[in-house]
Every structure is written in structure tokens, then in C-alpha cells.
Amino acid sequence: MTTPRSNRIAEIFTRHEKPLLVDWLRVQLAARTVRKDLLPEADLRRESVEFLAVLTPACRAGSLTDIATPEWKPVCDFLAGISRSRATQGFSSSETATFVFSLKQPLFARLQEELGADAAALGDEIWTATALLDRLGLYTAEVFQKGRQEVIKRQQLEMLELSTPVVKLWEGILAVPLIGTLDSARTQVVMESLLPSIVATGSSMAIVDITGVPAVDTLVAQHLLKTVAAAKLMGAQCIVSGIRPQIAQTMVHLGVAFGDVVTKASLADALAYAFRQIGCTVIKQAPRT
Amino acid sequence: MDRIPILKVGDFLLVSIQVDMHDRMAMGLQDDLTTQVVKARAKGVLIDISSVEVVDSFIGRMLGNMASMTRALGAEAVVVGMQPAVAITIVELGLSLTNVRTALNVDKGMELLQSLVNPTAEAARHDSHEE
Amino acid sequence: MTPTKSETLPLRSSEDTVRVRQTVRVWMVEQRFSLVDQTKMVTAASELGRNAVDYGGGGSARLELLADSGRTGIRVTFEDQGPGIADIELAMKDGFSTGSGLGLGLGGSKRLANEFDIWSEPGKGTRVTITRWK
């Protein structure tokens, strides 16, 4: 009769919880990656206690090879939590994963004590334990990465918003000078800032200036057309200015059709057009003598 | 069944859609509008959708129909006040409302209707303003 | 991924479609989705709800609030036991329609959502799922 393998590790966590915790903390505090500057010892202690508290029941109830099962949810949630908090505190992803990996040493020491005589069984248990802790440590790193990506995405969005200002050229005429590439994310931002401005200022003319957009291909043209279409539905006319000779050539070669959309080479031309549309005339006065 | 009210403002009819319309209500409005255009001998119709938060393909088609039917009856139609989020969604949906005239708000919509219905009078008004 | 909140609403009439729209809106406002995101999702829900009522002989809409490593999502599944769609690929193309609709419902809804899934079998029914993440 052999004790089912999966219970050994759970047993150790249950029976030796306190000494295991002591050893684990000692290993963590001795490591170069402990970062006492970022995380006080008391907090580290608390997190370690909490981790063992959710780890033990999961080992007893669940499979040791599949951490995606529901029994492991509390453990995964806990690890996701500390991974995110450590990311904001400034830890690197490997420093955070070490929290889990450092548990190996004390665990193996205990396994050695229990199974020292039986090399085969010891080998099995160490393999299971290391595979499990590896998986948990990697999960920590994954969540960390995802968190980082979200921060980057948010910052990119903020940058997009800052770089698409809507300016009022005249009563009833708005302009959006675009600088940089126009992808679908940027187009959304342009539409979401330009269109409400149109309503707020009661402007019936909007000029999107693409002098600062380096390349215009069929996709960029589509994005511009979407913006123009949305403005038209609202009752405003959106025209595009800043079409450089090169862009005009590319567009013709690509077969990009701007259709009914009014396009002008320069912002000045666009402004003149806009004035005419709203019924304004610019009169140059004779110089005073 | 609740119906959407249609107001007579001079030679024009004003429809202001304030509620979340269900389909039968929309069909009812279409019927009412065409009846009223004839009855009131309206020269133009202003449809105010500034309170409408959702325009899907059905509502979009209905707006297009109302504009077409109005024109078929010899009157002009202008849709005003489309919300930005709605405009963005309609474009993404691929709904084409190219045959529908639009304006930013009721004031501008009325101006547009006047100019469509009475082009020479409008031009004269503009000229007199510039003096 | 288990939803953190879920609710199933009937889809038997056009008033039911309005209720589904409004419920989706309320949920998204609670979760602080942007106004444009809300409008897109509510509009897609309106399209698909209408399909279920008008072409599917009625059915139901299941709303679910999702949480996946920190981000929030809303998922709506429209299900009916109607005639089903024989050629899904064709039905997804804009301009296609068997009824008097504009035929934008499916293709359009896909563009308005982050995730789109459709199952249909002639004679059995149709199930369309749309998801939007914050």
C-alpha cells in the first residue's frame, strides 16, 4: 500500500507549517532579491503566511499538476494580487516570482527528512513539488507581465489624447492638427475628442490637417473617411487638409478615393474654404497712409 | 399605445424623439408623419434625435425612410442633433444614411430648412446682413 | 472563467429588446465603460435582440459580467430556437438579408464588439455571443 503521491506534499504543508514558514522567511530575507527598501519585513511575513494558508488546502483538495482547476483559484487569485501590488511597488518580475521559487528549498529539505531512505519516492516527490512551484512562479510572472502591458497601454492612450488637441480657428470652425501615424486607436481618440467639441462649440466646419502624418495608405484613408462620415451624420462638414504632393500621388496609385470629401493642400486653403461655407468674407483693408 | 408627438411650427413639422423607441412606436411615427405632412401641407420636417442614445440598423432605416417619404410628398427633411457616440457607432455599423440631410441642432436645422424651402428669400436675408 | 454576475432576460417582443438594451446600458454604466463603448455594445445588443425576436421566433438574452486578470468585460449571449442560418459566412456579409432588414445585424455587431461568436444550425436555432472589454 503506497500513500498516494499527491498527499505527501499536502501533508508536509499541514504538519510542518510553522517551521516551514520560518525556514522560508529565512531563505527569502537572505536572498539578494528581497528588496527591503520596497517591502517591509512585516508585510513579507504576512504575505508568506497568507500564501501557505491558501496553498495547503489547494494541495490537499486539488490536483498537483493542474493549477487551472477551481481548487487552485484562491491560490491563483492571491498570487495575482501580490504580483500586481509588487509591480506597482517597483519589483521586477523575477523578484516577484522568487517569492514562490524560494519555497522550494525548505520544502525539499522537509521531503528529504521524510523520504531520505527511499530514493525513488524522494525523486518523484521532488519532481512533483518543483513542477508545481515552477508553475505557480511562472503564473506570477505572467500576471506581472499583463499588468505591465496594461500600464503601457494606458500611458499610450493618455499620450494619444494629449497629442490630438482640437483647436477653434474661428466661430464655427474647428481644426485638429494630426502629428504622427493615424491608426485605428488614434482615429477613435480623434473622433471622441473632435465630435463632442463640434456639439459643444456648435461648429459646422471641422478641418483635419494631416501635414504631420507621414504616410497615408488605404487604411489611413479609411480612418479619415470614418471621421468625416461621423461628422456629417451630426450635421457638420469635415474637410481634410495637408495633402502633400507625395500623398496625393500615393493615393491615386493606390486607388484611394476620397469621393465627396473636400480635401485641400494646405490648412490656409482649408480655412478659406471654411470661411466661404459659413458665409464669412475676409476683407483686406487698404494700408493706412 | 404611446405615440411620438409631432408639432406644427409654421410651415414645418417638428418631431422630437425623447424616449427609447421600440419598433412598433417607430412604425407608428412613420405613419403619423406621412399623414401629418399631407394634412398640414408642411413644406419641411425637422427630426430632432438629440435625445436618442441608440440608433441601430432598424431605427436608421426608419430615419432614412421618413426622410425619403417626406421628400416624395414634396417636402424637405432634416435630421438634427445626432449624438457623437451614436454617429461613431453608426459609422462602425456600416449604416449609410447618405440621403438624409443633417444639421447640428434645431436652430441650424430650421435655418437649413428655410434655405431649402425658400432659397431666394434666404439669399436676400444674408445680403442684407452684410451691410 | 466564471462570470461575477449574470442575468437572463426573455426576448419575445420588441419591448423585451428595449429592456435588454437598457439592462446592458445600466451594467456598463455601473462598470464605468466609456460612453462610446456603451453605445456600441447597446446597439449591437439591439441588432441581435431584434434578430432573435423577428427571425428566430423569440428566445432569450443572457448577460454576464466577466473578470479576467484585472480587466472587466460584459458578455451577452442571444439564443433562439428558430430556423437557423444556413450559410453563416454569407449572412455575416453586409447587405445580406433574407427578411426586409438591411442585413447589417451580424457583420455590424461583430465590428461593434471585441469578441464575437456565432453558432447556428438550420432547424435547430441560433446562438450569438458578443463581448466587450473595458
Q: C6: how many CB neighbours lie within 10 A of its CB?
A: 13
Answer whether residue C61 shows pLDDT above 60. Answer: yes
Closest residue in chain B to residue C102, using alpha carbons only: B57
Q: What is the pLDDT of residue A175?
A: 97
- Give the ipTM of the model, two decimals please: 0.89
Q: Where are the domains of chain A?
A: 5-155, 167-278
Q: How far is B5 from chain A (nearest CA, A)?
A: 23
Contacts of A150 in chain C (CB under 8 A): 70-71
**A20, A102 in Cβ contact below 8 A?**
no
Answer whether residue B128 shows pLDDT above 60. Answer: no
Range of A44-58, A71-85, A142-156, A263-277 with top mean pLDDT: A263-277
Q: What is the pLDDT of residue A281?
A: 92
Topology of the domain covering C5-133: Heat Shock Protein 90 (3.30.565)
DSSP C129: E
Determine phi and psi for B52, rounding to 5 degrees. Answer: -85, 125
Contacts of B64 in chain C (CB under 8 A): none
With an 8 Å Cβ cutoff, are C70 and A188 in contact?
no
Nearest by CB to A80, which of C34, C36, C69? C69
Q: What is the pLDDT of residue C31?
A: 94
Contacts of A192 in chain C (CB under 8 A): 34, 36
- Across the range B116-121, mean pLDDT stands at 80
Nearest by CB to A226, which of B91, B97, B130? B91
Superfamily of chain region A167-278: STAS domain (3.30.750.24)
Q: Is C107 on the interface with B (CB under 8 A)?
A: yes
Task: Kindly write down the DSSP assignment for every residue of B22-59, as one continuous string.
Answer: -HHHHHHHHHHHHHHHHHTT-SEEEEE-TT-----HHH
Topology of the domain covering B6-130: Transcription Regulator spoIIAA (3.30.750)
Separation of alpha carbons C48 and C51, rounded Å: 5
Q: Is B88 on the interface with C (CB under 8 A)?
A: yes
Which residue do the cell numbers 432569450 mark? C60
Q: How confident is the model at residue C104 (pLDDT cuts 50, 70, 90)?
A: low
Give me the sign of the Cα torsion angle C21, C27, C30, C34. Answer: negative
Q: What is the pLDDT of residue A244?
A: 86
CATH 1.10.490 applies to domain A5-155: yes
Give me the sign of the Cα torsion angle B47, B50, B53, B57. Answer: positive
Answer whether residue A186 shows pLDDT above 90. Answer: no
Q: How far is A239 from chain C (nearest CA, A)?
A: 23
Q: How confident is the model at residue A10 (pLDDT cuts 50, 70, 90)?
A: confident
Sequence-distant (≥ 6) Cβ neighbours of residue C113 within 8 angstroms: C40, C41, C44, C130, C131, C132
3-state helix, strand, coil in chain B (%, to 5): 50, 15, 30
Mean pLDDT of chain C: 89
Least confident of A45-59, A62-76, B93-107: A62-76
Q: Is C87 left (phi over 0), alpha (psi -120 to 50) or beta?
A: beta
Q: Where are the domains of chain C?
A: 5-133
Contacts of C26 in chain B (CB under 8 A): none
Over residues B19-73, the pLDDT tens digits come to: 888 888 899 999 999 999 999 999 999 999 999 999 998 899 899 999 999 999 9
Instruction: Put the strands of the sheet holding A205-212 in their side by side order.
Output: A167-170, A173-179, A205-212, A237-241, A263-264
- Across the range A181-209, mean pLDDT stands at 92
Q: What is the pLDDT of residue B130?
A: 43
Task: Kindly write down the DSSP assignment for every residue of C20-56, as one continuous string.
Answer: HHHHHHHHHHHTT--HHHHHHHHHHHHHHHHHHHHTS
